[in-house]
Structure 1
Amino acid sequence: MSNSPAQDTLAQDFVAFAVESRVLRFGEFKTKAGRLSPYFFNAGLFDDGAKLGRLAEFYARRLVASGLQFDMLFGPAYKGITLAAAVSIELARLGQNKPFAYNRKEAKDHGEGGTLVGAPVQGRVLIIDDVISAGTSVRESIEMIKAAGATPCGVTIALDRQEKATVTTATGPQEAAESAVQQVQGQYGLPVVAIATLADLMGFLDVQSDAALVSARPAVQAYRQRYGV
């Protein structure tokens, strides 16, 4: 889905918020794929009421602007649980009251039992997560949603890193031509709605005067040229 100018502003505001909150940091970080990334986005650091509330506002505004139609939110454990709850609150505040559900990692054998918690999983279900790294969480969510008799209709994330995914082969990990987001879109035919992308992050760095942010830009640009899609 293309970004309109208003959505670009939303993305820039989100990147600025993530940097101010120290959720988005610059330096040298090793990714799950073994790459040395010049930036790190850790949504687990949206860890107080004010930050989580603002994060939910960004998700909700992006979803409303996207026009994506969905009946409920599904948050994969663990980060998705908080996100689904917070964003459902914000959507209700905007006049779109949506139920939400999530999974627990271990099936419960007492009480209501099972692995799914919250509203009944039915209709068009939107999966919410922080990022798509390997797509494992999305695949598992799709399976759970379908097993419940519902229809996965899309995925929403905070940041699309727009970098080549890694695939495991007989000879070891290999670089894919596509990003994990593109793989999800291609394999499952699901739209992925991101609050911001690596391109938005670069746009943010382009207009900064802070010395630390200015000095971070060349490394991010080089990383994008090496691994970007």
Structure 2
Amino acid sequence: MQQLEEKLLVQKIEKGIVIDHISPCKGFLIYNIFNPDPDSTAVVAKNVPSKKYGRKDLVKIEGEYITSSLVNIIGLISPSATINIIADSKVKTKQRVKPPDELLGVIDCRNPSCSSKGPASRFTVQLSTELELSSLKCSLCGYTFYYEDAVKEITHKASSGILVSRNRVQRELLTLLIKKGGLRYHQEFKLKSGRVSPYFINVGALNDGESLAKLRWVFASYIAMLLKDGVIEDFDYVFGPAYKGINIASLTCEGLREYYGINKRFLYDRKEVKSYGDVAMDGSIVGSEYFVEGQRILIVDDTITTGKTKIVSIERLDSLGRHKVVGVIVAVDRQELSDEGGLSAVEFLERRLGVKVYSILPAATIYDMIKKELSGEERESWVRYYDRYGVVKLSK
């Protein structure tokens, strides 16, 4: 009976997270810390029979992504928990959590004169044999959160959207694109490539103050998450290819500094080389006056369809001398085939540059998130388009 109950709870999840063996009565707390999309499929099971623990809670969230910070938080709240990452309806990885030795960048010290706040916050976890008697001690000033207060503070930050996950960043970007007309999908559009697409992406539509503020948060949060998880190397500059990439690069630098205390410079290229003034300083790359050979560059841009226009801009970086590109971040990847030997645009760009491309919002994710709003005919149009041009397959 127990196996049947658990099977009913998890059998339909295609991609997401199942957190099992949660201490009884803590499932809803962990669910609230994830703060998932209200429209996402989620299950919280309370007091499920367990052979090992007698009783347990279980949380299943479709489409969610877990960061190292969330793993540490779960370990602090329920050290008995296990995290199952689900992809294609199968368990891809299974991880047993444990209480962290330190909690970094999660809660702010309440001492007004202490700088242990935001990404720089650092608390030592002082465990007790009874978890509820544990405490968190600020590594800088010694201020102590007792366990109950620490959990309340973490929950408050989660409900305020401060704790970042990939899913949350994707939801925010998609909502913004739809609200501002940057994503249109109830008609067909002829693209520059000549393909007739069931949707159209125009990040340039995000041109008011509200949009720019949110775009700043999206790029900064996504990059900060990749840095924190060690997915990308640290870097010295953010490069934005002309023209739309210029705004994104400047917004990214501003957001990294404002939200995460990470200070970077940005560069952008000129499509027409400057022929007056100090051309040696910024003839083709603007902002290069402080560049030192060997420094590392992160590239940001709006979308990627074929990848060819990115190559032209990025090759202009050669004028800087020796440098290293640590990655390319794009807002949207259409996940389409290029005309380069059957490669996707991302594969073409990665092979040509020898760097990894990261997409905040892939086309397949867009489709999954809006599929319920599409008519049957519209879903068929998406599926046909990606059967013909895509590197991913969509389901009706």
TM-score range, shorter chain: 0.7 to 0.9
Q: Name the aligned partner's letter for residue 325 of structure 2.
A: P
Question: Which among 20, 29, 32 is matched to residue 189 of structure 2?
Answer: 29
Pair 1:121–1:203, CA change in 2 (3 A) = farther
Supply the distance in 2 between the matched residues of 1:14 and 1:132 (Cα, whole angstroms): 16
Secondary structure of 2:365's partner? helix
Supply the distance in 1 between the matched residues of 2:385 and 2:180 (Cα, whole angstroms): 23
- Asked if the contact 1:38–1:220 (Cα under 8 Å) also holds between the matched residues in 2, the reply is yes
Secondary structure of 2:270's partner? strand
Supply the distance in 2 between the matched residues of 1:112 and 1:201 (Cα, whole angstroms): 45
Q: Name the aligned partner's letter for residue 286 of structure 2.
A: V
The correspondence of residues 150-229 of structure 1 with structure 2, limited to 5 A, is 150-167=323-340, 176-206=341-371, 208=372, 210=373, 213-214=374-375, 216-229=378-391
Please identify which structure carries the higher strand content: 1
Q: Name the aligned partner's letter for residue 54 of structure 1.
A: K
How many percent identity over aligned positions? 35
- Asked if the contact 2:305–2:333 (Cα under 8 Å) also holds between the matched residues in 1, the reply is no
How far the C-alpha of 1:21 sits from its partner, in A, is 1.4
Supply the distance in 1 between the matched residues of 2:368 and 2:207 (Cα, whole angstroms): 26
Supply the distance in 1 between the matched residues of 2:354 and 2:173 (Cα, whole angstroms): 27
* Cα deviation 1:143-179 (Å, max 9, x = unaligned): 2223312222211110011111124xxxxxxxx4221
1:109 maps to 2:275 = yes
1:4 maps to 2:170 = no
1:39 maps to 2:205 = no
Please list every run of at least 4 consecutive aligned residues from structure 1 whose deviation after the TM superposition is greater than 6 angstroms. none
1:97 maps to 2:269 = no
Supply the distance in 2 between the matched residues of 1:186 and 1:118 (Cα, whole angstroms): 27
Secondary structure of 1:156's partner? strand
Q: Name the aligned partner's letter for residue 84 of structure 1.
A: A
* Cα deviation 1:73-103 (Å, max 9, x = unaligned): 1111111111111111111112111100111
Supply the distance in 1 between the matched residues of 2:167 and 2:343 (Cα, whole angstroms): 23
Q: Which residue of 1 aligns with 2:151?
A: none
* Cα deviation 1:195-223 (Å, max 9, x = unaligned): 110111121023x4x5xx44543322322
Supply the distance in 2 between the matched residues of 1:121 and 1:156 (Cα, whole angstroms): 21
TM-score norm. by structure 1 comes to 0.86
Pair 1:9–1:217, CA change in 2 (3 A) = farther
Secondary structure of 1:129's partner? strand
The correspondence of residues 138-157 of structure 1 with structure 2, limited to 5 A, is 138-149=310-321, 150-157=323-330
TM-score norm. by structure 2 comes to 0.51
1:64 maps to 2:236 = no
* Cα deviation 1:84-135 (Å, max 9, x = unaligned): 1111111111211110011112222222221211244441111111112232
Supply the distance in 1 between the matched residues of 2:319 and 2:274 (Cα, whole angstroms): 17
Gaps of 5+ in 1: 168-175
Question: If you compute each CA radius of gyration, which structure gives the higher value, 1 or 2?
Answer: 2
Supply the distance in 1 between the matched residues of 2:274 and 2:354 (Cα, whole angstroms): 32
**Greater RCO (CA < 8 Å, at least 6 residues apart):** 1
- Asked if the contact 2:242–2:271 (Cα under 8 Å) also holds between the matched residues in 1, the reply is yes
Across the aligned residues of Structure 1 and Structure 2, the Cα RMSD in angstroms comes to: 1.9
- Asked if the contact 1:127–1:138 (Cα under 8 Å) also holds between the matched residues in 2, the reply is no
Between 1:130-139 and 1:77-86, the stretch displaced more is 130-139
- Asked if the contact 1:30–1:36 (Cα under 8 Å) also holds between the matched residues in 2, the reply is yes
How far the C-alpha of 1:44 sits from its partner, in A, is 1.1
Supply the distance in 1 between the matched residues of 2:304 and 2:330 (Cα, whole angstroms): 7
Supply the distance in 1 between the matched residues of 2:278 and 2:209 (Cα, whole angstroms): 29
How far the C-alpha of 1:9 sits from its partner, in A, is 3.3
- Asked if the contact 2:306–2:336 (Cα under 8 Å) also holds between the matched residues in 1, the reply is no
- Asked if the contact 2:333–2:361 (Cα under 8 Å) also holds between the matched residues in 1, the reply is yes
Secondary structure of 2:188's partner? strand
Question: Which among 300, 303, 322 is matched to residue 128 of structure 1?
Answer: 300
Q: Name the aligned partner's letter for residue 200 of structure 1.
A: T
Supply the distance in 2 between the matched residues of 1:97 and 1:57 (Cα, whole angstroms): 15
Please identify which structure carries the higher helix content: 1
Equivalenced residue count is 215
- Asked if the contact 2:220–2:252 (Cα under 8 Å) also holds between the matched residues in 1, the reply is yes
